[in-house]
C-alpha cells in the first residue's frame, strides 16, 4: 500500500519535470531475448503463413509468437504414422525409410517446422514457437524439433478445461507442472508458460512454475466459453476479439506477482491502445502482447502504439521503460487487508450510485 502511494507520487513528480525532445529507449529484454520495443504479436491467424509473418515483422512488433501447434495435431500425426506403417507393412515391413515423404509432410507438423525455419530466415526478430496441450505425453518432446528448426523460445500454452468432478485442483496443477518440466528438459532455449486464470491460487501456481525454471510467464490465456444459439439450440464456440475492459484481471495478477518471481512476465489480453500497454508496464510486465487490436485495426496500428508509447514516455521525461516498469506493482506479499478494503470501498461507493444507474 505504502509503495503504491510512493510510486504514484514519484510518477506525478516525473510528469511535472518532463523533458521534451529526449530520445526514448524502448529496448527491452524478454527471457534473454533482446527486443527493440516491448510489443510482441501473440499467436493469431496472422502467423499462419509466411507472407503475414513478414508483414507482422515489418509492422514494428519486436517478436512474434506464432500460432500454436496443438497436442491433438501431434497425436493425429502419431496415429497417421501408425496407420501408414500398417498399410505399408506387407511390402515394407522392416524399414520406415520407405515412407512416401509427402504423406507424412501433409499430415504432420512438418509445415509448422518449415514455417519456423522460413520465418527465421526471412525476418530479423525473434520467432517464438507455441506448443499447446493439456495431458502428459510424447507431444511435449516436439519442443526439441521446434528448437532445431530455429525457434528463439517456446511458449507452452496449458489450456485445460477440466470437467471431471473427481480431479482435484492439486492434480491439475501437478499435471501442468509436469508437462512444463518435460518441455523444459527437452530444450535449451527459453520456455515461457501461458497460464489461464482457472487455478485456485493463480499466484501460487505461477510461483511454482517460476521455481521450476520458467523463463517467462504469460498472463493470461483467454478462455473461449461456449454459448448457446437459441435458433438452432446448439452449443457454439466462437472466438470474440477482446476489449480493454478485459485487462483488469491480468493487471491485478501481474501486479501481485511481479516482485515475487524471477521469470519475465508477458502481459496478454485486452490491449486496445497504448493506455493498456502503459498500464501493464506500470504493474511490472516485461513485454506486452497483442492480437485483437491488430486484427481489428490493421498492422499499421502497431506503429501507432509504439509511437504513442514513445510520446507518453517523453511527456513524462522518462528516458527508458525501466523508469516506469513495475512502479505500480504490489510489494506487500500478504496484503489481504488492502485488497479487502479496496473491494469494500468500491462496493460502498457503487451503492451510492455516482454513475446515474436506474434504481
Ligand atoms: C483468431 C485467434 C486465434 C488464436 N490462436 C491462438 C493460438 O493458436 N495459440 C494461442 O496460444 N493463442 C491463440 N490466440 C489467443 C491470442 O494469442 C491472445 O492470447 C488472445 O487473443 C488475447 O489477446 P488480445 O486481447 O490481444 O487479443 C488466438 C486468438 C485469436 C483471436
Greater model confidence, 93 or 68: 68
Task: Report pLDDT digits (tens) over 327-338.
Answer: 999 875 556 777
Task: Report pLDDT digits (tens) over 99-148.
Answer: 334 343 444 689 999 999 999 999 999 999 999 999 999 999 999 999 99
The CATH homologous superfamily for domain 2-351 is Aldolase class I (3.20.20.70)
Residues near ligand 1 with C-beta < 6 Å?
42-45, 67-68, 130, 132, 157, 194, 222, 239, 241-242, 268-271, 290-292
56 has pLDDT over 90: yes
Mean model confidence pLDDT for the chain: 86
Residue for grid cell 507431444: 139
Residues 131, 121: contact at Cβ < 8 Å? no
Contacts of 227 (CB under 8 A, 6+ apart): 235, 236, 237, 238
Q: How confident is the model at residue 308 (pLDDT cuts 50, 70, 90)?
A: very high
Ligand 1 site-directed mutation target among 41, 44, 238, 268, most atoms within 8 Å of CB: 44
Q: Tell me the β-bridge partners of 267.
A: 219, 288
Phi, psi (degrees; rounded to nearest 5) at 106: -70, -35
Closest by alpha carbon to 221, among 276, 289, 285, 152? 289
Rounded to the nearest 10 degrees, the angle between the axes of helix 274-282 and helix 300-315 is 50
Q: What is the pLDDT of residue 12?
A: 41
pTM beyond 0.85: yes
So where are the chain's domains? 2-351
Buried b (16+ CB within 10 A) or exposed e, 78-87: eeebeebeee
Q: What is the pLDDT of residue 115?
A: 95
Amino acid at each position: 500500500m505504502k509503495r503504491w502511494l510512493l510510486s504514484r507520487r514519484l510518477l506525478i513528480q516525473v510528469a511535472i519535470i518532463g523533458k521534451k525532445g529526449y530520445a526514448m529507449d524502448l529496448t527491452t529484454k524478454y527471457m534473454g531475448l533482446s527486443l527493440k520495443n516491448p510489443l510482441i504479436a501473440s499467436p493469431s491467424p496472422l502467423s499462419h503463413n509466411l507472407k503475414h509473418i513478414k508483414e507482422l515483422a515489418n509492422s514494428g512488433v519486436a517478436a512474434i509468437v506464432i500460432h500454436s501447434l496443438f497436442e491433438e495435431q501431434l497425436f493425429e500425426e502419431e496415429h497417421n504414422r501408425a496407420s501408414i506403417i500398417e498399410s505399408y507393412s506387407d511390402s515394407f515391413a522392416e524399414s520406415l525409410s520407405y515412407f512416401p515423404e509427402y504423406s507424412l509432410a501433409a499430415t504432420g507438423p512438418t509445415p509448422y517446422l518449415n514455417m519456423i525455419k522460413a520465418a527465421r530466415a526471412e525476418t530479423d526478430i525473434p520467432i517464438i514457437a507455441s506448443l499447446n496441450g493439456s495431458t502428459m505425453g510424447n507431444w511435449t518432446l516436439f519442443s526439441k524439433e521446434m528448437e532445431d528448426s530455429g525457434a528463439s523460445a517456446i511458449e507452452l500454452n496449458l489450456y485445460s478445461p477440466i470437467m471431471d468432478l473427481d480431479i482435484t485442483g492439486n492434480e491439475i496443477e501437478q499435471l501442468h507442472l509436469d508437462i512444463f518440466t518435460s518441455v523444459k528438459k527437452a530444450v535449451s532455449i527459453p520456455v515461457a508458460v501461458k497460464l489461464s486464470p482457472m487455478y485456485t491460487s493463480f499466484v501460487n501456481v505461477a510461483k511454482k512454475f517460476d521455481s521450476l525454471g520458467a523463463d517467462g510467464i504469460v498472463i493470461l490465456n483467454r478462455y473461449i466459453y461456449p454459448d448457446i444459439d437459441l435458433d438452432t439450440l446448439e452449443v457454439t464456440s466462437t472466438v470474440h476479439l477482446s476489449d480493454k475492459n478485459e485487462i483488469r484481471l491480468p493487471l491485478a495478477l501481474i501486479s501481485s506477482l511481479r516482485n515475487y518471481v524471477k521469470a519475465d512476465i508477458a502481459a496478454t489480453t485486452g490491449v486496445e491502445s497504448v493506455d493498456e500497454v502503459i498500464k501493464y508496464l506500470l504493474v511490472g510486465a516485461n513485454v506486452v502482447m497483442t492480437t485483437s487490436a491488430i486484427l481489428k485495426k490493421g498492422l499499421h496500428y502497431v506503429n501507432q502504439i509504439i509511437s504513442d508509447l514513445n510520446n507518453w514516455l517523453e511527456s513524462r521525461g522518462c528516458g527508458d521503460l525501466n523508469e516506469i516498469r513495475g512502479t505500480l506493482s504490489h510489494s506487500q506479499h500478504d496484503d489481504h487487508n488492502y485488497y479487502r478494503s479496496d473491494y469494500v470501498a468500491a462496493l460502498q461507493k457503487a451503492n451510492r450510485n455516482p454513475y446515474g444507474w436506474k434504481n
